Amino acid sequence: MTLRIAVIGGGIGGLTAAVALYQAGFEVDVYEQAPELTEVGGGINMAPNATRVLRGLGLTEGLDREGVRPCSTHQRRWRDGRTLQRAPLNPLCEELYGAWHMTIHRADLLAVIAAAFPAERVHLGHRLIGLSDHGDSTEAWFENGAHIMVDVLVGADGIHSAVRSALFGDEEPAFAGCVAYRGLVPVERIADLALEYGSQSWVGPGAHFVHYFVSRGRLLNFVGWTEHDSWNREDWTDRATIARALAAFEGWHAQVRTIIAAAETCFIWALFDRDPLPRWSVGRTTLLGDASHPMYPFMGQGAAMAIEDGATLASCLGAVGDPADALRHYERLRLPRVTRLQQMSRANSGDRSPDTLRWLYQFDTADVVPTQV
């Protein structure tokens, strides 16, 4: 009998898992609390380990239509713009790691993934409020009164995961002491900068600033990280003014300040993570993405890990007969890799040695999943 699987959360992680599970032949439904599928916050880097999985799901055409393959990465000093490091990205990434690096607007990425999944199986306005594992099935309840009984339930409901709380109890995420300003700039406003078609990162005291193209090159995305003692919602709003972002990057190179000043929208984002969990699954219920292993974004790998999780989960459920065994197998395969990345992101180690990059980018979920267990 075909397994019925509920994925809670229609973010990048949940939808990728849904596509992978659907393509593997399972009966999959996604339950998303929001009234529509959407992603805020602008752009995202998709490293080769993530684009490899998305390519395997047949999404290359959509990604190339919406995203950008940056030609290079250029690291510069905050005040005088001096080059600290410069390296080619594409097409070299494909030669070195077998897949390309991409920068893309989050909403575009989500739309490309969602297009590969039947829309009628995405249930919007469904906020999970409770669940119960019965050994051979899982039952779940939603705020709108809906109720489901499925063979497997996957919590892909982000850093404040209700599924995680139901399985392992409540615990507040830890503030990184860091906030990120994120903005999008229409490229015609900064044409005078004549930026090359790549990513740039600027390094300064207690802060750094990254910019890259998204939306077929029509928008420049920026993220500026600065240190910050404490975070409380009353003092900050999620939408930052451009003036506030400019003040945070006072004294920085004219290029950085020109980009911030030209922004169309500017958000502020506080950074949180959690300690690694020793396990993610209880019976026929498991976790995926930020629900199981939120990490600081300094390695640019949070969504990539969620994407790898989805592919691995689908392979395990396909290869291992008993669903609870398959979930245990899935977490055993995933835990060491994501825990190492959580730790690297927390240490902000900046380890970009060739060995580390190979470990990170050459990784292929297909290599670690046995066909039979």
Ligand X SMILES: Cc1cc2nc3c(=O)[nH]c(=O)nc-3n(C[C@H](O)[C@H](O)[C@H](O)COP(=O)(O)OP(=O)(O)OC[C@H]3O[C@@H](n4cnc5c(N)ncnc54)[C@H](O)[C@@H]3O)c2cc1C
Q: Binding residues for ligand X, per CB under 6 A?
A: 8-14, 31-34, 44-45, 126-128, 156-158, 162, 180, 223, 269, 271, 289-291, 297, 300-304, 306
Shortest Å, Cβ 342 to ligand X:
11
Q: How do 174-186 and 219-227 pair as beta strands?
A: antiparallel
Shortest Å, Cβ 146 to ligand X:
11
Q: What angle do CA 160, 163, 166 make, to 5 degrees?
A: 105
**Which is catalytic among the residues 22, 97, 212, 330?**
212
Helices 302-319 & 323-347 angle (0-180, nearest 10): 160
Contacts of 367 (CB under 8 A, 6+ apart): none
Sheet containing 138-142, strands listed edge to edge, beginning at the edge strand earlier in sequence:
128-133, 138-142, 147-150
Residues 223/260, Cβ–Cβ less than 8 Å: no
Contacts of 9 (CB under 8 A, 6+ apart): 30, 31, 32, 33, 155, 156, 157, 158, 161, 289, 291
Neighbours of 145 (CB within 10 A): 6
Contacts of 162 (CB under 8 A, 6+ apart): 8, 127, 128, 129, 155
Q: Identify which of residues 304 and 327 has a Cβ nearer to ligand X in the complex.
A: 304
Active site residue 31: no
Contacts of 207 (CB under 8 A, 6+ apart): 78, 224, 225, 226, 227, 248, 249
Contacts of 357 (CB under 8 A, 6+ apart): 96, 97
* Bond from prior residue into 70 cis (ω within 30 degrees of 0): no
Residues 121/148, Cβ–Cβ less than 8 Å: no
H/E stretch holding 6:
strand 4-8
Q: Identify which of residues 11 and 48 has a Cβ nearer to ligand X in the complex.
A: 11
Shortest Å, Cβ 363 to ligand X:
13
Q: Identify which of residues 175 and 319 has a Cβ nearer to ligand X in the complex.
A: 175
User: Could you give the residue ranges of the DSSP H alpha helices within the chain?
Assistant: 12-23, 48-56, 60-66, 92-97, 106-114, 162-168, 242-248, 254-261, 302-319, 323-347, 354-361, 365-368
Q: Identify which of residues 55 and 325 has a Cβ nearer to ligand X in the complex.
A: 55
Q: Identify which of residues 132 and 319 has a Cβ nearer to ligand X in the complex.
A: 132
Q: Identify which of residues 80 and 128 has a Cβ nearer to ligand X in the complex.
A: 128
User: Could you give the residue ranges of the DSSP H alpha helices within 115-203?
Assistant: 162-168
DSSP for residue 269: E
Q: Identify which of residues 42 and 283 has a Cβ nearer to ligand X in the complex.
A: 42
Would you please indicate which residues are annotated as catalytic (active-site) residues? 212
